[in-house]
Chain A
Amino acid sequence: MSKSVAETRALVEKSLRRRQWAERRFRAYGLGAVLLGLLFVVVLFTSVFSQGWSAFRQTNLTLEVFYDPAVIDPEGTADADTLAVADYPALVRAALKQRFPDVEGRTATRQLSDLVSSSAANVLQARLTADHSLMGKHETLRFLADDKVDQLLKGRISRDLDEADRALSDQQVQWIDALKHDGVLSLDFNRGFFSNGDSREPEQAGVWGAFVGSLYTLGVTLLLSFPIAVATAIYLEEFARRTRWTDLIEVNINNLAAVPSIVFGLLGLAMFLNIFGMPRSAPLVGGLVLALLTLPTIIIASRAAIKAVPPSIREAALGMGASKLQMVMHHVLPLAMPGMLTGTIIGMARALGETAPLLMIGMVAFIVDVPHSLTAPATVLPVQVFLWSDSPERAFIERTSAAIIVLLVFLVVMNATAVVLRNRFERRW
């Protein structure tokens, strides 16, 4: 006879406590892991956002300038050459001196004119070149303030420090306070940050150049890697017979997915630049290299998606007299598309964050002009973050974080698009 019911029960109850306890412990580990992960994300985001949000606002200085013919065009010729080389900074200096008439001497004048960004002179030049009738007139304009003024107003340069330890002199701080008192210093939305290319002057530096570079580069990557990867996956899954060759190809694809990205950069340098003679620093080459990098990822994901389509669907299609191509195009591909898109997004997200392979092909560079074609020199967002993080000027610290925010937003938008597309194609059975 078996053991009595009571005995069995006692045995089960004895182990029950232990098993339940083990389960609770396991759940706690899982929850702990999730919370820890969330904590890291929160810490990262808080540090980035608290550092970076202030870069979206920029100090401006409103000044009344006088387009003095005696300074710009003393001979009254009004020809383009004279206007191109005229001393525009002198106009800015004069406008500042008008506010502080008692400033005398070279050093003091220099310190005073340091309060305004060097872009002020360029603004005046552009306005006068576009409209000659401004000559001899007064105009009230808003200029960018120097990055140090900006940092002082944002509280990132301390007023309590010794003069010798501060980037601004006591005199300059006094002037800034006077300007603020007069209401001509204002913190406004930083439009330049979203419309300019890179600059060595923090107040003029923007992410637009890098953003456009990223768009071009990723565009090339997507157009190349997605169709090639999908075609590869379909062929390998649906058409190719399993031979030693397809096994070899499969092993190689899996290995390629794990190759460090710098190797693809070296390959790009050797092949696209040295053999094909493509231009350095071009988004076209960047896109090609990143396409090589993302191909294996997308192929693997696409194959998994195709494998997940139930065989009954294929058999039904073939049974109804569809050709193999029709079966793939009309039934398998639409059903596998959501999985393929997910794989593509993972690959593209990786490509968006890459800097190492781009170093080899010259995209880690200082580029002021916003790129306007696939072969123009360009850089990408993560490279911009890297370059700014290595700049000595303190104002670049907040801009680095702001560029990271832009990069994160880019990533979120990209992922959201994928989710929307996936939901559109999603089919259930």
Chain B
Amino acid sequence: MFIKRFLTSSLVVAAAVGSAAYAQAGRDYISIVGSSTVYPFTTTVAEQFGKGGKFKTPKVESSGTGGGIKLFCDGVGAQFPDIANASRAIKPSEVDACTKAGVKDIIEVKIGFDGITIANSKKSPLFKLTRRDLYLALAKTVPDPDNTQSLIANPYKTWNQVNKSLPADKIEVLGPPPTSGTRDAFAELVMDAGCSTFANIKALKDTDEARFKKVCQSVREDGAYIEAGENDNLIVQKLGANPKALGVFGYSFLDANISQIQGSVIDGVPPTFENIASGRYPVSRPLFFYVKKAHIGVIPGINEFLAEYLSPRAMGADGYLAGKGLVPLPAAEQVKVRKAVLGK
């Protein structure tokens, strides 16, 4: 009888699958985890590397910087990742966790820069902002305009209240949620800098750093800052539908959607490829990946993968990663990184 046969045969399979305490033997592909910002670049290199034909295409997971480093630091062995992408440098606490789990030698590789852009639809005029404007527009508490010594809940509703030269539109900014590496960088590079333009808050940094961080990095929750999820493409689409809003995301999304959106000028510098590469654009951060030294020579192809990633045809000024929106390192620094990592 059909049903009976099906039931018994699938029970047998189920038992076989279920009871097999599957021990993972060696792995013949590179396993990469980490930042969703670095993901587009690492995947491009991984694909090129796989097409070379000698090794399998590495597997690249998009798990976020923090989650990726945690997985990376879990231990040494084929079941743990070989490389972690990061949109910030590894923290000392993470290095400690790594060491505790036996991951002692970690190679840090800096691959380039990412600019964080504050953009709006081309249907609206271009914004010329300072980091102070952004802080005043987005912080939860701001210095009282009458008496800058005391802090009040953010009273600003429109941009021209923040700065007379800005339009009289409602403040509405779509940006990443606190779990995102982009948000960390935005808090550090924009909010901290903007809030340090007030002398008394800046003084806090030396006396009470925790309070300084709280004052500067707390973002208002009254609807002016809208958390738009980790999906940067969604923010770009929403900007098209709502020309009055600004969006916060990585440079590669501005680059790919330049026909619809424009990047605001920050502190007098527009977010262009050249300005980010030269470091003139103030809101940019370096991107990294970390390699587990103990896995080199055990998992096939790691050295060759590093050679491909660091080659001029990948991360060089005219390399294919530049075409994907990565802002490359200056030529001299590239040579230095290559020498440090590959020894040549």
Contacts from A to B (Cβ < 8 Å): 84, 110, 118, 122, 157-158, 161, 164-167, 199-201, 220, 222-224, 226-228, 230-231, 273, 276-281, 284, 288, 329, 333-334, 337, 359, 362, 364-369, 375, 377, 387, 389-394, 397, 425
Considering the chains assembled together, what is the distance between the CA atoms of A317 and B225 in angstroms? 69
A230 contact set on B, CB distance < 8 A: 7
Q: Binary interface profile of B, 31-46, with partner A (CB < 8 Å = 1, else 0)?
A: 1010010011001101
CB distance from A257 to the nearest CB of B (A): 20
A368 near B61 with CB under 8 A, answer: no
B59 within 8 A of A: yes
Q: Taking A122-B51, A367-B59, A387-B62 as contacts, is the C-beta distance between A224 and B255 under 8 angstroms?
A: no
Considering the chains assembled together, what is the distance between the CA atoms of A391 and B57 in angstroms? 19
B17 near A200 with CB under 8 A, answer: no
B53 contact set on A, CB distance < 8 A: 84
B233 within 8 A of A: yes
Q: Binary interface profile of B, 10-22, with partner A (CB < 8 Å = 1, else 0)?
A: 1101100110011
B63 near A364 with CB under 8 A, answer: yes
Of B100-108, B256-264, B274-282, the one touching chain A: B256-264
A368 near B233 with CB under 8 A, answer: no
Partner of A392, one of B4, B256, B320: B256
Considering the chains assembled together, what is the distance between the CA atoms of A387 and B63 in angstroms? 12
Considering the chains assembled together, what is the distance between the CA atoms of A391 and B250 in angstroms? 12
B255 near A276 with CB under 8 A, answer: no
A329 contact set on B, CB distance < 8 A: 4
Contacts from B to A (Cβ < 8 Å): 3-4, 7, 10-11, 13-14, 17-18, 21-24, 27, 29, 31, 33, 36, 39-40, 43-44, 46-47, 50-54, 56-57, 59-63, 79, 81, 122, 230-234, 252-253, 255-259, 318, 320, 324-325
Q: Taking A389-B231, A392-B325 as contacts, is the C-beta distance between A365 and B60 under 8 angstroms?
A: yes
Q: Taking A84-B53, A279-B24 as contacts, is the C-beta distance between A366 and B17 under 8 angstroms?
A: no
B234 contact set on A, CB distance < 8 A: 389
Partner of B11, one of A84, A227, A281: A227
CB distance from B93 to the nearest CB of A (A): 21
A165 near B10 with CB under 8 A, answer: no
Considering the chains assembled together, what is the distance between the CA atoms of A288 and B18 in angstroms? 8
A392 near B29 with CB under 8 A, answer: no
Considering the chains assembled together, what is the distance between the CA atoms of A122 and B50 in angstroms? 11
Inter-chain pairs besides A278-B24, A281-B59, A329-B4, 13 sampled, C-beta below 8 Å: A84-B52, A122-B51, A200-B47, A227-B7, A228-B14, A230-B7, A276-B22, A334-B3, A359-B63, A366-B62, A390-B36, A391-B233, A393-B256
A364 near B13 with CB under 8 A, answer: no
Considering the chains assembled together, what is the distance between the CA atoms of A190 and B194 in angstroms? 50
Q: What total of A-B pairs shows CB separation below 8 Å?
A: 128
B318, closest chain A residue (CB): A110
CB distance from A358 to the nearest CB of B (A): 11
CB distance from A398 to the nearest CB of B (A): 13
B27 near A366 with CB under 8 A, answer: no
Q: Taking A337-B3, A365-B62, A390-B233 as contacts, is the C-beta distance between A165 and B40 under 8 angstroms?
A: no
B27 contact set on A, CB distance < 8 A: 279
A392 near B10 with CB under 8 A, answer: no
CB distance from B139 to the nearest CB of A (A): 29
CB distance from A298 to the nearest CB of B (A): 13
B255 near A392 with CB under 8 A, answer: yes
A337 contact set on B, CB distance < 8 A: 3
Considering the chains assembled together, what is the distance between the CA atoms of A224 and B9 in angstroms? 11
A277 contact set on B, CB distance < 8 A: 21-24, 79
Partner of A200, one of B52, B61, B324: B324
B253 near A392 with CB under 8 A, answer: yes
A425 contact set on B, CB distance < 8 A: 3
B31 contact set on A, CB distance < 8 A: 280-281, 377
Task: Pick the most buried of A223, A226, A230, A359: most chain B CB atoms within 10 A of its CB.
Answer: A223
13 residue pairs from A and B, CB less than 8 Å apart:
A84-B53, A165-B122, A166-B259, A167-B259, A200-B324, A223-B14, A223-B17, A277-B24, A334-B3, A366-B46, A369-B56, A390-B233, A392-B252
A390 near B43 with CB under 8 A, answer: no
CB distance from A238 to the nearest CB of B (A): 15
Partner of B232, one of A227, A365, A369, A390: A390
A368 contact set on B, CB distance < 8 A: 46-47, 50, 57
CB distance from A300 to the nearest CB of B (A): 19
CB distance from B308 to the nearest CB of A (A): 12
Considering the chains assembled together, what is the distance between the CA atoms of A359 and B232 in angstroms? 19
B29 near A377 with CB under 8 A, answer: yes
A164 contact set on B, CB distance < 8 A: 258
B18 near A392 with CB under 8 A, answer: no
B50 near A224 with CB under 8 A, answer: no
B258 near A165 with CB under 8 A, answer: yes
B77, closest chain A residue (CB): A277
Considering the chains assembled together, what is the distance between the CA atoms of A392 and B252 in angstroms? 7
